[in-house]
Amino acid sequence: MQYQAGHIQIAVVGAGHAGVEAALAAARLGCSTMLFTLSLDAVANMPCNPSIGGTAKGHLVREIDALGGEMGKAADKTFLQSRMLNRGKGPAVHSLRAQIDRRAYMEYMKHTIERQENLTLKQAEIAQLLVQEGKVTGVVTSLGAVYTADRVILATGTYLKGKIYVGDVSYQAGPDNQKPADLLSQSLAEAGIRLRRFKTGTPARVKRSSINFTNLEVQEGDEKIVPFSFETTGELCNTEVCHITYTNSETHRVIMENLQYSPLYSGMIEGIGPRYCPSIEDKVVRFADKPRHQIFIEPMGRNTEEMYIQGMSSSLPEQVQIALYRTVEGLEQAEFMRTAYAIEYDCIDPLDLRPTLEFMSVSGLYGAGQFNGTSGYEEAAAQGLIAGINAARSVQGKGQIILERSNSYIGTLIDDLVTKGCMDPYRMMTSRSEYRLLLRQDNADTRLTKLGYEIGLIGEERYQRFLKKSALRDAEIARVKATTLAPSPELNALLVSHETSPLVTGARIADIIRRPQIAYADLAPFDPGRPDLPEAVAEQVEVEIKYEGYIKKQLDQVERMRKLEETRLAEDMDYGSISGLRLEAREKLLRVRPHSLGQASRISGVSPADISVLIIYLEQQGRETDD
């Protein structure tokens, strides 16, 4: 029996990383919001590795924070170990990663949600989506409660008709054997939303006392920790270490001899798995020439003996898993606390979404996270934040936010999804951006904090601190470009010791910093006018000076693309009537419905010649309008 339970402006379905950010953003922007979850004990759960960040993912977290999201703050409050990856490479690929106390993170997020004004957290399964005349009007729970809503955000993660596989055993379940969402898929299909099946997996959790750490490589955290959030102050400390071990020929033998029992190879699993995070059996088959694969042993929290065995995701039968794990050094006596599994679930084709993350076919309905075909907590949170912002602004009659590829990894992520789609779970990588040097971790606040302030998620006090930091950076860049250092025996001795030529005449500080061998900090003893700057400001000064030429080239590239990005295309444009477009281009343009020429140019199957045809068509239309 159904009953009217009330009206809310925004309903968010799913309280994983996407749903949490969506609900917090919508509520903070002043909309009455309800966040529905299958279990209050699984809010912001980390069913796979309890870590935040990593290559490119760390960029996403800092961008989420710069816009006013919560993930970075939560990670800083609950981390066990923090490391900056890729230190030996250029600043474009430096990526922060932290091992997280899983339970502490979940408790932090749940309590943050519970205390948030305008936000209600509700344990309920959403069984039905209400749609009238192509517009979403609300949701219905499995207990019959009808909530009318102005906007709905779907962030169902891997719960939608979730099915777990371990060998030849399979059963309906969400991650961690939670209850799955079995009822909503049919309602979505009835609303005209196309669903498909993806798959992901997770390794076993092993009891700490059963691991022999004696001969394992120790992986320490950074001595000086860089926080995820630009608001985090004070000293941060690592409390745990991680360890590294490797598979071997015996591990690979056990896998190959039991491959027929894997549901991946027996045909039981139909869903498409993540290309960049394969199971251990898939890695051994695909990379048969590799004698070993790296395995990370990582803690799950301060108050648990569970250890996460990263790199050994599997869906083989339990007894085979135990046998293959025990071939690995350090795991010879491994005691399983949770068995590895694969999980299959319903998700959508993101080509059905606008760049705002609103469905093209159902007005007022938004998608975010793994429901959109992505993998990873960070990708999910980024989409959730944008979906929450846009749903709230739509309710309030304000313009929608579309981030650009040139100003954020979030913009790159969403543009890739809605323009190119994805044939397997999408994972963000630095190589996906053509503007990597502009989209560094260190300058995420420079790129996005002003926008976060204009949207209303960044407060006045934080914005003023940001402006002060920006002024310090700009003043110091101007000073080092204008200040000359005279040659001296001490300075030349430093230069020679760093294997670069000594000065013969005076040189500007900026020119010396541009030498690959010299760091900004090296010149401090010879630079009496140098101000005492916060470390984050000094880092930005050095990067901006040292890579100025490369940065300028990328900015020129952005400018060349700007005209295409700013040339808007009507969503209802009749591409079938435009003569000169190839058939494939017409089909792809009608499918994606690009919002700009720039987006159209990135659609697979749309050639530069097709873009030229569109430019000519728009010019002709403009002349006809003028006449």
Residue 284 inside a domain? The answer is: yes
The mean pLDDT value for 335-353 works out to 97
Residue 559 inside a domain? The answer is: no
pLDDT on residue 624: 65
pLDDT in tens, 134-167: 999 999 999 999 999 999 999 999 999 999 999 9
Of 343, 359, 393, the residue that ends a domain is 343
| DSSP output for 255-280 | HHHTGGG-HHHHT---SBPPTTS--H
Specify whether 274 is located in the same domain as 373: no
CA distance 83 to 34: 36
Specify whether 429 is located in the same domain as 497: no
The mean pLDDT value for 205-232 works out to 97
Q: How many structural domains comprise the chain?
A: 4
pLDDT in tens, 434-462: 999 999 999 999 999 999 999 999 999 99
Specify whether 180 is located in the same domain as 47: yes
pTM of the prediction?
0.95
Q: How many residues does the chain have?
A: 627
What is the band of 620 on the pLDDT scale with cuts at 50, 70, 90?
confident
Specify whether 165 is located in the same domain as 273: no
CB atoms within 10 A of CB 188: 22
Residue 561 inside a domain? The answer is: no
pLDDT on residue 249: 96
Residue 12 inside a domain? The answer is: yes
Residue 557 inside a domain? The answer is: no
Residue 562 inside a domain? The answer is: no
pLDDT on residue 270: 75
Of 489, 523, 552, the residue that ends a domain is 552
pLDDT in tens, 544-576: 999 999 999 999 999 989 999 999 999 999 999
Q: 602 lies in which domain range?
A: 567-626
Specify whether 319 is located in the same domain as 444: no
Domain holding 468: CATH number? 1.10.10.1800
pLDDT on residue 88: 87
Residue 335 inside a domain? The answer is: yes
Domain holding 585: CATH number? 1.10.150.570
Specify whether 394 is located in the same domain as 475: no
Specify whether 353 is located in the same domain as 370: yes
CA distance 33 to 25: 10
Specify whether 231 is located in the same domain as 330: yes
Specify whether 189 is located in the same domain as 91: yes
pLDDT on residue 273: 76
Residue 240 inside a domain? The answer is: yes
Instruction: Identify which of 68, 3, 51, 120 has the alpha carbon closest to the alpha carbon of residue 461.
Output: 68
CA distance 442 to 229: 11
Specify whether 53 is located in the same domain as 155: yes
What is the band of 133 on the pLDDT scale with cuts at 50, 70, 90?
very high
Give the angle subtended at the CA of 440 by the CAs of 414 and 70, to the nearest 5°: 60
Specify whether 337 is located in the same domain as 351: no
Of 426, 454, 482, the residue that ends a domain is 454
pLDDT on residue 265: 78
Instruction: Identify which of 243, 259, 228, 256 has the alpha carbon closest to the alpha carbon of residue 52.
Output: 228
CB atoms within 10 A of CB 504: 8
Domain holding 151: CATH number? 3.50.50.60
Specify whether 29 is located in the same domain as 84: yes
